[in-house]
C-alpha cells in the first residue's frame, strides 16, 4: 500500500548561491524537474553539509516521511513504489532505450562536468576551490576541497579520463549532445508526447550547462549548437518551473552573475 506523498517533502542540496557546483546543480535540477513532472510538491532546502547528510554521499537527496533517498535512479524507483511513474506507458524496447540514454548522459555529460570542475586547473583554481569550501573557515575549506579533488581525480584515472585533454572532453560533450539532438529530433520530449525521467535528466544537465558561467563559454557553446536542445530546455523550464516561488530563470541568472564575480 503506497503512502501518500507528504506535504513537507524536502530536497536537500548545497547552498545555491555560494557553494553548489556544476555537476551537483545539474543532478539536483534533474530531480526537481522529475518531481515537478510527476506533480509531486517538494521544497528545496539548502544546507552546507548536504553532501555529508546524504546516505550515499551524493546530492541531491530527498527526505520524504521518514525515508531518505539520494540520486535520481533510486529516487525514480522510490517514487514508483509510491505509485507515480512517468515511464509506465513505454514498451519494453523503449524502456531499454531510455535506460541506455540515461547512461549516456551520466557517462558523458556528468563525467565531463566533473572533469571540468575538478581536473581543469584554471576552473579548479578560480571557481571550484573558492566555492566548494566557502561555508567553512580556513583551513578547513582548503582541506575539504583538496580531499574531494583527490577523490575525483582518482576516479577519473580509473575510468581513463585523467589522460584526456580539455579539447577531447569538449569533443565528447559535443558527441553526446549530437546524439541527444538526433534522438530528440522535432519531438517535444524524448518519447514523444509525455516527459519521462530521461527528459528530466537531460534538462537538468543541459540547463545547468547553458546557464552557468564558467571561465570559458566553450561548454555552453557546444550545447547551443543544437537548437532543438535549447528549445527543449526552454520548453521544460516554462512548463514546469515558471510561476513558482523558485523561478529558476531569475535565480539562475543571478547565480551565474555571482559566479563570474567569485574569484
Partner 1 sequence: PQSIFQAYAKFSGAPLTVNTIINPWKAPIGDVPVLISEDIVISQPAKILNFLRKQKYNADYELSAKQGADTLAYIALLEEKLLPALLHTFWVESENYCSVTKPWFASRIAFPLSLYLPGKMSREALNRILLTRGGPPIYTLTEVEAQIYRDAKECLNLLSKRLGTSQFFFGDTPTTLDAFVFGFLAPIYKVCFPRVQLQEHLKQLHNLCRFCDEILTCYFRLTVSGHSPAGQDTADANLQKLTQLVNKESNLIEKMDDNLRKSPQHPPRKLTTLKLAAGGEESSPLNRLSP
Which positions lie near partner 1, rule CB under 8 A?
55-58, 92-93, 95-97, 99-101, 103-104, 106-108, 154-155, 158-160, 175-176, 178-180, 182-183, 185
Distance CA 124, CA 114 (A): 11
In the complex, least distance from residue 137 CB atom to partner 1, rounded to whole angstroms: 26
* 126, three cell numbers: 578560480
In the complex, least distance from residue 95 CB atom to partner 1, rounded to whole angstroms: 8
Extended strands (E) in 60-115: 61-64, 67-70
Q: Is the distance from CB of 202 to CB of 243 less than 8 angstroms?
A: no
Nearer to partner 1, 81 or 254 (CB): 81
Nearer to partner 1, 85 or 106 (CB): 106
In the complex, least distance from residue 22 CB atom to partner 1, rounded to whole angstroms: 20
In the complex, least distance from residue 12 CB atom to partner 1, rounded to whole angstroms: 16
In the complex, least distance from residue 258 CB atom to partner 1, rounded to whole angstroms: 30
* 165, three cell numbers: 585533454
How many residues belong to the chain? Answer: 263
Nearer to partner 1, 5 or 60 (CB): 60
Nearer to partner 1, 51 or 237 (CB): 51
Nearer to partner 1, 18 or 171 (CB): 171
Beta bridge partners of 49: none
Q: Is the distance from CB of 168 to CB of 162 less than 8 angstroms?
A: no
In the complex, least distance from residue 58 CB atom to partner 1, rounded to whole angstroms: 8
Distance CA 106, CA 49 (A): 24
Going by C-alpha positions, the residue among 86, 111, 90 that lies closest to residue 176 is 111
Q: Is the distance from CB of 209 to CB of 219 less than 8 angstroms?
A: yes
Nearer to partner 1, 31 or 102 (CB): 102
Distance CA 70, CA 109 (A): 19
Distance CA 86, CA 102 (A): 14
Amino acid at each position: 500500500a503506497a503512502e501518500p506523498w507528504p506535504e513537507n517533502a524536502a530536497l536537500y542540496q548545497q547552498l545555491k548561491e555560494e557553494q553548489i557546483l556544476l555537476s551537483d546543480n545539474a543532478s539536483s535540477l534533474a530531480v526537481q524537474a522529475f518531481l515537478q513532472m510527476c506533480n509531486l510538491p517538494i521544497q528545496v532546502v539548502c544546507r552546507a553539509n548536504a553532501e555529508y547528510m546524504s546516505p550515499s554521499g551524493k546530492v541531491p537527496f530527498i527526505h520524504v516521511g521518514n525515508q531518505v533517498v539520494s540520486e535520481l535512479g533510486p529516487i525514480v524507483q522510490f517514487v514508483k513504489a509510491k505509485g507515480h511513474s512517468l515511464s509506465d506507458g513505454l514498451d519494453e524496447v523503449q524502456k531499454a532505450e531510455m535506460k541506455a540514454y540515461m547512461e549516456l548522459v551520466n557517462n558523458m555529460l556528468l563525467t565531463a562536468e566533473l572533469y571540468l570542475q575538478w581536473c581543469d586547473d584554471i576552473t579548479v583554481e578560480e571557481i571550484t576551490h573558492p566555492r566548494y569550501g566557502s561555508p567553512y573557515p580556513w583551513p578547513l575549506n582548503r582541506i575539504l576541497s583538496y580531499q574531494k579533488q583527490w577523490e575525483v581525480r582518482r576516479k577519473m584515472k580509473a575510468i581513463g579520463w585523467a589522460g584526456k585533454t580539455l579539447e577531447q572532453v569538449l569533443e565528447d560533450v559535443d558527441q553526446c549532445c549530437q546524439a541527444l539532438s538526433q534522438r530528440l529530433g522535432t519531438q517535444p520530449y524524448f518519447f514523444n508526447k509525455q516527459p519521462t525521467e530521461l527528459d528530466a535528466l537531460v534538462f537538468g544537465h543541459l540547463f545547468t550547462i547553458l546557464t552557468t558561467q564558467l571561465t570559458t563559454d566553450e561548454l555552453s557553446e557546444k550545447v547551443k549548437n543544437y537548437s532543438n536542445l535549447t528549445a527543449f530546455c526552454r520548453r521544460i523550464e516554462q512548463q514546469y518551473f515558471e510561476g513558482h516561488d523558485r523561478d529558476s530563470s531569475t535565480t539562475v541568472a543571478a547565480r551565474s552573475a555571482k559566479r563570474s564575480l567569485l574569484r
